[in-house]
Chains A and B, each alone.
Chain A
Amino acid sequence: MANWYMLTLVGQDQQGIVAQITQTLFENGYDLGEASMMRLGGNFTVMLMISHPENKNGDDAIAIIKDKMGLCVHSVEVSGGLHQHVEPNVRVTVLGTDRAGIVAEVTGVLAEQGVNIVDLESDVGGTAQAPIYIMHIEGVATNSTDDLVDKLAPLNRDGIEIQVMDIETLVG
């Protein structure tokens, strides 16, 4: 089995962009692994795990559509692979007015508390005059949720609300 590459593509969002990228990769002999596509600030962004029997990194395929679609491309060989999911057991939601440094403050507390972040997503809604900041974090915590709540409590100020919830995955 060839190694996995993490292919990152950023560009102007446009109709059919995902289809073009994945079709081109497929036609050039690439396997796709896990992928995450998001629109960030009006830009198209995607991170794709790809592998090729000849251990190619995706540049050859993307070169075909890169200029036409105005894509920035980055590809790097990664050591991970598929089937390495970890189940998050805690979810932290940060809501409120945008405050400089809030991401660093919250994630700093989480790191201190030994929480391994597996998913972080933040967005800005509202209006330009009154932006609303929304962040969702899911992670694997080893300490109790109560401890985490206590440690995050001081950040609950100046219009920021932080909520902590357990995630319990039911397996049946």
Chain B
Amino acid sequence: MASLEILSYPDERLRQKSLEVEHFDQTLWDFIADLEDTLGVGPGAVGIAAPQVGHFQRICIVDVSGRKKTKNHGHLVLINPEITEWDGFKLGREGCLSVPDYTGNVVRAEKITLEAFDPEGNELNFEMSGYEARAVQHELDHLDGLLFLDRVVSRRNDIFDRKVYKPKPKK
């Protein structure tokens, strides 16, 4: 196991479209172990996709379970993932391991239906929303050679989702 080098934009390889995984074998599992190590090294990242380390197969890891008060499906290793349904829109701020020192606001679907395979080749099916759905959409973009930079709507002045804090009633 080893952590791998993360490609940084404008490396053209980040624009490459990744291919489907065909064999669920030791080679795949070894690569996933390395990808896990690489994600572990990054500061506070909730996901990573294979092309970010120059491996052009449709593999990504998403794990938002470390975030407070967030619906999630735990630690997910997704092979050949595909979003089959989208619903709603939500603005949120994103950054990327492959784009250091820059963040921006991106619109993503609020809810998605996700189909994928696990590393053993079993079918997975998820209904996801919010932060986890955002993370999955960010990673799936990498598999198609897209970056959040392609979707930044603005860096400021946006109407964020109204998750507004109300002052607590006085005791």
Contact = CB atoms under 8 A, between A and B. Distances in A.
Contact of B131 (A91, A167, A170): A170
Q: Which of B45, B67, B160 has the largest count of A CB atoms less than 10 A from its CB?
A: B160
A166 B68 CA distance: 12
Given A121-B156, A168-B93, A171-B95, A87 B103 contact: yes
B62 interface: yes
Contact of A170 (B102, B135, B156): B135
Contacts, number: 76
A172 B46 contact: yes
A170 B46 CA distance: 7
A115 to B, nearest CB: 14
Interface stretch (A5-13, A51-59, A102-110, A148-156): A148-156
Contacts of A23: none
* B interface residue count range (under 10 / 10 to 19 / 20 to 34 / 35 or more): 20 to 34
Contacts of A164: 164-165
Contact of B46 (A121, A145, A153, A171): A171
Contacts of A146: 165, 168
Given A83-B101, A121-B156, A136-B157, A170 B164 contact: no
A12 B46 CA distance: 46
Interface in B35-84: 42-49, 62, 67
A40 to B, nearest CB: 14
Contacts of B135: 170, 172
A31 interface: no
A59 to B, nearest CB: 30
B45 A150 contact: no
A146 B134 CA distance: 25
Interface of B: 42-49, 62, 67, 92-97, 101-103, 131, 134-135, 138-139, 156-157, 160, 162-168
Q: Which 5 A-B pairs have the closest CB atoms?
A: A172-B47, A153-B167, A172-B138, A171-B95, A149-B165
Given A163-B162, A170-B134, A172-B135, 19 more contacts: A85-B101, A85-B103, A149-B165, A149-B166, A149-B167, A149-B168, A153-B167, A163-B165, A164-B164, A168-B93, A169-B93, A169-B95, A170-B92, A170-B93, A171-B97, A172-B46, A172-B62, A172-B94, A172-B138
Interface of A: 83, 85, 87, 91, 119, 121, 136, 138, 145-146, 149-150, 152-153, 156, 163-172
